[in-house]
Amino acid sequence: MGSGSKPAAVVVVTFAVLMAAVTTTCQAAYGPPNPASCGLKVGYYYAKCPHAEEIVKNVVGAAILHNPGVGAGLIRMLFHDCFVEGCDASVLLDPTPANPQPEKLSPPNMPSLRGYEVIDAAKAAVEAACPGVVSCADIVAFAARDASFFLSNSRVAFQMPAGRLDGRYSNASRALDFLPPPKFNLGQLVANFAAKGLGVEDMVVLSGAHTVGDSHCSSFVPDRLAVPSDMEPPLAAMLRTQCPAKPSSGNDPTVVQDVVTPNKLDNQYYKNVLAHRVLFTSDASLLASPATAKMVVDNANIPGWWEDRFTKAMVKMASIEVKTGGNGEIRRNCRAVNH
């Protein structure tokens, strides 16, 4: 499976899109998202709300202890937030009469995105300590970092710069515009990430988050279970027993994305890619070019290689199109804009 494109074609697409990726105010005109250029910094709340990060970490840790799956949801939430309108907590906004179709109701988020109640709990705890100080966007970023820490048994540990403001706009159609579907091939994935200032290695490294969490059958059926398929036959056979041949809104079960270590954030995903034990076309497509295939091999085989790159890519992703100044606010309630 994969894009079917020649490696050279992928390189051309990558270069062209990267050169065209002149992004919004908080990203360099030519280059990747940069926390410093957005006014983000580590320890942003040390003076304003000294225990903010500790409070969020405690809430996230308790939630993951109760249900490890919610940790995968919190990591995914940061990605789904940042790729649509930037890292501004727009994915948290509930529908209102004035805005009946926010991002959270878009097919990429509904019903699969989870962890909203953890963000609510963290926001409530932070508000009790420091009212009106900590943005929901920063809480989403902290929660993804902390979920990574707990699900990796502390092997993925990093500092998350903060200082984001919350956005006021959320539209379901924008999620469809910017979030890459699981059926994307390699060229489409490269272009999608480049449009947000992220490179090919960022894309490969962030795909490793598929080592935790579940997927609805509709995300890979029938494409990946068709015959012939490059999926490992025993896995395909098992999935055919778990998934309906034609998933529907009333019959769309979930399965684990990583059958080896489903609740552990580790580099097993890359071993699964090499063994053809991955669910999505987008996962399998990482072997479609020599360059990305080598990245998969390195992430699979070199101890600590993927974890180191994942921490850097998460910080970079969490700096996409950040709201600052008059472009945002600090919401009192993460589900609604201030009035």
Binding annotation: 81, 84, 86, 88, 90, 103, 180, 210-211, 258, 261, 266
User: In Å, what is the CA distance from 190 to each residue of 14, 163, 246, 278?
Assistant: 6, 28, 29, 19
Task: Reply yes or no: is the peptide bond before residue 222 cis, omega within 30 of 0.
Answer: yes
Contacts of 90 (CB under 8 A, 6+ apart): 81, 84, 102, 103, 166, 167, 169, 170
Contacts of 186 (CB under 8 A, 6+ apart): 2, 3, 5, 10, 285, 286, 288, 289, 292
CA distance 214 to 258: 8
Nearest Cα residue to 256 out of 299, 313, 211: 211
Contacts of 175 (CB under 8 A, 6+ apart): 80, 84, 91, 103, 106, 107, 108, 109
Name the catalytic one among 66, 80, 216, 339: 80
Binding residues for substrate: 180
Question: For the CA atoms of the chain, what is the radius of gyration?
Answer: 19
CA distance 314 to 137: 14
Binding residues for heme b: 210
Number of Cα atoms under 13 Å in the Cβ half of residue 227: 5
At residue 146, φ and ψ (nearest 5 deg) are -70, -35
Q: Residue 66 catalytic?
A: no
- The full length of the chain comes to 339
Binding residues for Ca(2+): 81, 84, 86, 88, 90, 103, 211, 258, 261, 266
Q: Please give the positions annotated as active site.
A: 80
